[in-house]
């Protein structure tokens, strides 16, 4: 598809991505309230954007770029004037340096790395990761399904995430 | 499990980061742990960067749900799906499946239908006319019920659902990406992605949703829309009205138990008064446009009527006395 997405399509993608985005914002900011506010700002900026977005992946990449810029901005404000959680959307707007092409590329690159990392996991770890992420099971459910302890499930999940994280360090040009 | 392809310090960092991320996401972390976690995030930029990175990984992993290789590798052999190798499947079908899968995550795994086999206990809450209540639900969500409200709430592992039958309620929904919170009314539903919003039943067929924080999805007829902070929409069985600014001030003010008016026409003020009073009042239509500022609480609401009558030298009437209709 070479035409850019319509407003309602963008809105739909936003709804779909908002869980992930909010989680991202929460883990970046350490505040549920701030993350809800910034999520809203992400939406406003997506709605206002004149950026032609051709696909869902491009849109997600764009949304994450917006989120990253907003996080950066929030940190800057926290350090310069303490706890001011009201974010100045206008300032954030200026920092928005037309992201899509490089950002989308970066997104595809990360996606490849994460995929490679998952495929490289030891079997048990991989299965547990799948049950958690794709079957949406809780730790206790996974433990009983595989007849192992909850503690082991927790440990394997840490291992899985650490492994993916390590896979992302460094290699920039691979694949 | 440790590998030696990187500096140990780096491994340790990744371990620490992965530990905290999975801990917080397990849903079993204590309030105390969460507080500490949040404090560290705010004070340690390196840590927060790492946690954000983890959240990104977690999201990208989800995006890989539609990747056949990844799914095959992460599925127990006994449960492996036969469709793995169907590479010829059209792109459209793949996209549809991917879309449906992602949607499922956001909407939660099970949507509740009335009459479904496993339904958890339904809790009923009501307020009389002139009464307000605040309800703390087990999941951490808070409901403010306004005058004359009847609502039923069900919380299960897979979903959170409420049915609003009458009145008005504000939902401060505790974030839980695995369990969406849905509020049904006679004519539509509002689906929540962790936020604060208000629903007012207008009449048997219509309701008004207003968002105070975050955003919600509203579905009515075969239309749906996303509503964000300070937006409001009215819906009925036929569908959705147009989006308008929400009367957030009015909603916030009823939460405090004091209803305020700032230069409002008497008509609006009496409509609001009538919401809280079993005895309904009106004024002669000629006076409806007179503007008035003031406030009342549920206990002293009749003082408002006296103040209005004194200030303008007019009388209010109760419905029993109303000459027509």
- Would an 8 Å CB–CB cutoff place B2 in contact with chain A? no
Residue A165 has pLDDT above 70, yes or no: yes
pLDDT band of residue A101 (cuts 50, 70, 90) is low
- Kind of pairing, strands B244-245 and B133-136? unpaired
Provide mean pLDDT across the span A8-27. 82
* Residues B61, A11: C-beta atoms closer than 8 Å: no
Chain A partners of B175 at a C-beta cutoff of 8 Å?
22, 26, 32, 36
Provide mean pLDDT across the span B130-138. 88
* Residues B3, A166: C-beta atoms closer than 8 Å: yes
Distance from CA of A9 to the nearest CA of B (A): 11
The length of chain B, given as a count of residues: 325
- Residue A129, Cβ density class (10 Å: 0-12 exposed, 13-18 middle, ≥19 buried): buried
Q: What are phi and psi of A2, to 5 degrees?
A: -105, -15
Q: What is the pTM of this model?
A: 0.48
Distance from CA of B256 to the nearest CA of A (A): 21
For chain B, give the longest Cα–Cα distance. 90
pLDDT band of residue A92 (cuts 50, 70, 90) is very low
Q: What is the DSSP letter of B97?
A: H
Residue B210 has pLDDT above 70, yes or no: yes
Q: Which structure tokens are listed for B201?
A: 């039943």
**B8-61 tens-digit pLDDT:** 346 788 899 999 999 988 878 888 888 899 889 888 888 988 998 898 899 889
Chain A partners of B42 at a C-beta cutoff of 8 Å?
29-31, 78
Q: Which structure tokens are listed for B88?
A: 């010829």
Chain B partners of A30 at a C-beta cutoff of 8 Å?
37-42, 48
Reported ipTM: 0.76
Provide mean pLDDT across the span B79-98. 42
Positive or negative torsion for Cα B306, B308, B313, B319 = negative
Chain A partners of B172 at a C-beta cutoff of 8 Å?
none
Yes or no: say if B189 and B182 are a contact pair by the CB < 8 Å rule: yes
Residues A67, B20, A127: CA angle, nearest 5 degrees: 95
């Amino acid at each position: 598809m070479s035409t850019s997405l319509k407003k309602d399509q963008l809105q739909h993608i936003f709804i779909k991505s908002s869980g992930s985005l909010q989680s991202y914002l929460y883990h970046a900011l350490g505040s549920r309230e701030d993350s809800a506010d910034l999520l809203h700002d992400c939406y406003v900026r997506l709605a206002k954007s004149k950026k032609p977005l051709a696909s869902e992946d491009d849109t997600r990449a764009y949304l994450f770029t917006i989120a990253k810029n907003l996080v950066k901005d929030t940190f800057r404000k926290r350090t310069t004037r303490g706890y001011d959680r009201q974010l100045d959307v206008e300032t954030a707007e200026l920092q928005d340096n037309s992201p899509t092409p490089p950002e989308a590329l970066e997104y595809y690159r990360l996606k490849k790395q994460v995929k490679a990392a998952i495929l490289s996991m030891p079997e048990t770890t991989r299965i547990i990761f799948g049950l958690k992420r794709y079957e949406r099971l809780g730790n206790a459910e996974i433990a009983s399904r595989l007849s192992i302890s909850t503690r082991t499930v927790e440990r394997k999940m840490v291992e899985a995430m650490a492994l993916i994280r390590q896979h992302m360090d460094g290699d920039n040009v691979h694949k | 499990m440790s590998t030696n392809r990187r500096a140990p310090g780096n491994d340790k960092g990744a371990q620490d980061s992965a530990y905290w991320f999975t801990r917080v996401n397990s849903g079993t972390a204590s309030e105390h742990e969460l507080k500490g976690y949040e404090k560290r995030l705010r004070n340690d930029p390196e840590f927060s960067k790492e946690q954000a990175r983890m959240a990104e990984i977690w999201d990208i992993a989800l995006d890989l749900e539609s990747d056949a290789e990844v799914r095959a590798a992460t599925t127990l052999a006994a449960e492996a799906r036969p469709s793995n190798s169907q590479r010829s499947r059209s792109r459209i079908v793949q996209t549809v499946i991917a879309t449906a899968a992602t949607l499922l995550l956001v909407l939660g795994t099970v949507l509740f239908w009335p009459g479904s086999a496993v339904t958890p206990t339904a809790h009923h809450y009501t307020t009389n006319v002139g009464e307000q209540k605040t309800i703390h639900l087990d999941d951490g969500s808070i409901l403010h019920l306004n005058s004359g409200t009847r609502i039923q709430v069900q919380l299960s592992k897979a979903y959170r659902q409420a049915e609003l039958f009458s009145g008005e309620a504000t939902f401060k929904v505790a974030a839980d990406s695995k369990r969406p919170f849905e509020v049904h009314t006679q004519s539509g539903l509002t689906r929540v992605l962790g936020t604060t919003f208000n629903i007012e039943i207008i009449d048997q067929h219509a309701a008004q949703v207003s968002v105070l924080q975050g955003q919600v999805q509203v579905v009515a007829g075969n239309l749906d829309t996303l509503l964000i902070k300070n937006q409001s929409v009215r819906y009925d069985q036929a569908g959705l009205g147009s989006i308008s600014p929400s009367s957030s001030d009015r909603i916030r003010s009823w939460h405090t138990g004091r209803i305020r008016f700032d230069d409002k026409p008497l008509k609006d003020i009496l409509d609001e008064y009538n919401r809280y009073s079993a005895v309904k009042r009106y004024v002669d239509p000629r006076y409806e446009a007179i503007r008035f500022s003031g406030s009342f609480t549920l206990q002293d609401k009749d003082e408002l009527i006296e103040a209005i009558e004194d200030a303008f030298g007019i009388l209010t009437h109760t419905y029993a006395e109303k000459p027509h209709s």
